[in-house]
Amino acid sequence: MQTLLFGDIATLASEMVIALAAMALLMIGVFRGDRSTRLVAWLSVLTLAAALALLLDGGDSTTIALRGMFVADPFALFAKVVVLLGSAFAIVLSMAYIEREGMARFEYPVLILFATLGMMMMVSANNLMALYLGVELQSLALYVVAALRRDSLRSTEAGLKYFVLGALSSGMLLYGCSLIYGFTGTTSFESLSALFLDRGAQPSLGLLIGLVFLISGLAFKVSAVPFHMWAPDVYEGAPTPVTAFFAVAPKVAAMALFLRAVIAPFIELVGQWQQIIVFIAIASMLLGAFAAIHQTNIKRLMAYSSIGHMGYALVGLAAGTPEGVRGVLVYLAIYAAMNVGAFALILTMRQKGGMVEGISDLAGLSRTHPFRAGFFAIFMFSLAGIPPLAGFFAKFYVFIAAVNAGLYALAVIGVLASVVGAYYYLRIVKIMYFDAPTEPFVRPIGGEMTVIVGLTGAFTLLYVFYPAPLIAAAQTAAQALFR
Amino acid sequence: MVIQQIAFYLFSFVAIASAFMVIAARNPVHSVLFLILTFFNAAGLFVLLGAEFLAMILVIVYVGAVAVLFLFVVMMLDINFTELRHGFLQYLPVGAAVGIVLMIELLFVLGTWITAPEAKLGGESPISATATNTHALGQILYTDYVYLFQGAGILLLVAMIGAIVLTLRSREGVRRQSASEQTGRRRADAIEIKKVAPGQGI
């Protein structure tokens, strides 16, 4: 009889640090009240840094722990590093905002820690039950964070919408899991993949229906068309730093989970799910490109932008090859960096009367704040995918993978959609550089904002000179998924 | 074997009879007491099946907590049960329909066991002879699935935090009970002694 070993605990070290620290910080907050928000927030960032250090210290060997529920491999490592950085940046970004706008509640960083824990459980899931538990932990924390400004009608509406639609998607996910379990008799990813290896590629109809439901539930979590309807409303309604958080870490985690849940158990069935992913990818890219054109609110625009970007990332998954997965991982890392930077700048859009969110409020930014306009232009060019910025390479890797997998039509549609998408990113640049200035933004943007914008901007700009480490890490991670 | 059979028929008969009395008794307090009797008999049936852990849990949780709670509700709140039962006959057809559907489903399940005896084998999970119930359940819950158990615990914690974050507000002007203040109260805080001059009043 084997009991819980220390080896298992060592594998889960970073998750345990986050869980224990979140509970300890909750205690600090409960006893000291909302005036401890700043302390709790910084300690949360410290926790995430410690978890990151532990994670990197653990190395990139593949370990399966806790009776096959949890897997630590290079793929999980890659996704977790991006998720941890994304969450840490999101907490730092929001500190000034939540104090200024009167939503400084100590629960906010604690809930982000729990959401991050859920994301780490998601990317390490090696079993359908563990997958669901991770998804729920992350989602539940996110619902609450979206509705955190409970006096604001828009914020509560966003939270409620997200909750109701999220519950629906969880239902679909669970239904899919139960069908898969019912038709195969196992929830473990390893047993599932072994099952299809043995039996050849002739799965039962019930299993395929289960797989479709599973993919639908996951598509909802990454807000891919046709399960995207919640994203624009939630992005617009939630407080801006929360939107910044939503756009980065949960998206990365959900996409990583998508990769693992589709590839690790079902890679032998690639012919069955490829067409679904191709459809979702095309629909997301096109909707992201066309629906964003008429937006006037920058947060709404970023929501449609993220729908489109998830479509591009899914192009890599549709390829179903290690090269495609590598492309998706690089895409996620670059997407995260660009979005953190862009949202840091959106968070500085504050006039004397308060926060503004209109795209027209950016008019003439180049004359009033040349540095901010410059960095914003870099992020917009990169999001549009214009070389030599990082965003171009992100798209390049996934499209090349699609072409090598023989999905020519998908790659062509992707390129065309990114041309359409470039229009609205460039419109923002045009408004910043060529329109007459309106009321200028409030001047000091805060030291931490400057650092974050500088870091992400430098990454976006200089990635072209030194792409090797990211590519190599993504390569190892992708190989681990196809073991 | 005979004793077991006698016990089985005794427990089942009393369980069914008292379950019937739960809905038939006029006095709601008697209903709850019959409910408790039903639970005890069901626990007895569990023991006969070798599921002693479930039997104990049934007694502790349902008899010890839930039924007593019912009893309190029935006795504390002034609910007019005769009025509640007023439309009893009106709902009888619907209730009977639901009952018949359940009955048919049960017959289907039993029918498959008879027509296809091998199907029973797949659903059987025999009680382990080496480990007790409690041990076996603990093995599953705290060793095999400890990750999911702990994860579900954190999930519930987050749900609790969320409920408090979204609904708790500190209201002004609410008097709160402070035990330390109450016990720390001295005679001098509450009583003032006035010297009253004789014959003058206050």
Contact indicator for B71, B59 with CB cutoff of 8 Å: no
Dist CA B161 CA A161 (whole Å): 19
Average pLDDT over residues B9-27: 91
Q: How far is CA A234 from CA A111, A145, A230, in A?
A: 17, 11, 6
User: Which residue among A69, A143, A150 places its CB closest to the CB of B148?
Assistant: A69
Asked if residue A274 lies in contact with residue A381, where contact means CB atoms within 8 angstroms, the answer is no
Q: How would residue A1 be classed by pLDDT, with cut points 50, 70 and 90? A: very low
Task: Tell me the nearest-neighbour CA distance from B137 into chain A, angstroms.
Answer: 15
Burial of A385 (C-beta count, 10 Å sphere; 0-12/13-18/19+): buried
pLDDT digits (tens, 9 = 90+) for A384-437: 998 889 999 999 999 999 999 999 999 999 999 999 999 999 999 999 999 888
Find the mean pLDDT for residues A274-288: 94
Whole-angstrom distance, CA of residue A450 vs CA of residue A466:
23
CA distance A295 to A302: 10
Q: The complex's ipTM?
A: 0.92
d(CA B181, CA B173): 18
Other beta carbons within 10 Å of A409 = 11
Mean pLDDT of chain B: 85
Quote the percentage of chain A above a pLDDT of 70: 98
Closest CA–CA distance from residue A118 to any residue of chain B (Å)? 9
What CATH topology corresponds to B1-80? Four Helix Bundle (Hemerythrin (Met), subunit A) (1.20.120)
How close is the nearest chain A Cα to the Cα of B127, in Å? 18
Quick one: closest CA in A to B122, which residue? Answer: A185
What pLDDT sits at residue A301? 93
Q: Are A143 and A176 in contact (CB under 8 A)?
A: no
Pick from A69, A107, A137: CB nearest B154 = A137
A contact residues 22-41, partner B, Cβ 8 Å cutoff: 23, 26
Residue A69 contacts B where some CB pair is shorter than 8 Å: yes
- For chain B, which residues make up each domain, given as ranges? 1-80, 89-123, 131-168
β-pairing verdict for A63-65 and A70-72: antiparallel
Q: Which residue has the tokens 């009033």?
A: A368
Query: Rounded to an integer, what distance in angstroms lies between the CA atom of residue A40 and that of residue A455?
Result: 24
Tokens of A40: 């709790």
CA distances from A366 to A121, A296, A347, A377, A388 (A): 43, 19, 17, 10, 22
Identity of the residue in B143, B157, B165 whose CB atom sits nearest the CB atom of A148: B165
What are A238-250's pLDDT values in tens digits?
Answer: 999 999 999 999 9
A200 pLDDT above the threshold of 70: no
Choose among A137, A143, A159: nearest Cβ to B151: A137
Q: Which residue of B lies nearest to A69 if distances are taken between CA atoms?
A: B147
Q: Does A149 touch chain B (CB under 8 A)?
A: no
- What is the average pLDDT score of chain A? 90
Q: Does A107 touch chain B (CB under 8 A)?
A: yes
Q: When comparing pLDDT for A6 and A234, which is higher?
A: A234
Interface test with B, best of A23, A114, A116, A177 (most B CBs within 10 A): A114
Residue A177 confidence (pLDDT): 95
> Is A141–B158 a contact, with Cβ atoms under 8 angstroms apart?
yes
What band does B27 get if pLDDT is binned at 50, 70 and 90?
confident
For chain B, say whether A56 makes contact (Cβ under 8 Å): no
Q: pLDDT tens digits, residue range B83-115?
A: 766 677 788 889 899 999 999 999 988 887 787
- Chain B nearest C-alpha distance from A253 (Å): 17
Instruction: State the CB neighbour count (10 A cutoff) for residue B118.
Output: 7
Its pTM stands at 0.88
B165 vs A144: CB contact, 8 Å cut-off?
A: yes
A67 contacts on B by Cβ (under 8 Å): 143-145, 147
CB-based contact, A121 to chain B, within 8 Å: yes
Determine, for residues A133 and B152 on separate chains, whether the beta-carbon distance falls below 8 Å.
Answer: yes
C-alpha A466/C-alpha A165 separation (Å) is: 41
In this predicted model, what pLDDT tens digit does every residue of A422-459 receive, in sequence order?
A: 999 999 999 999 988 877 887 777 788 889 999 999 99
The region that residue A5 occupies, defined by phi over 0 for left and psi between -120 and 50 for alpha, beta otherwise, is: beta
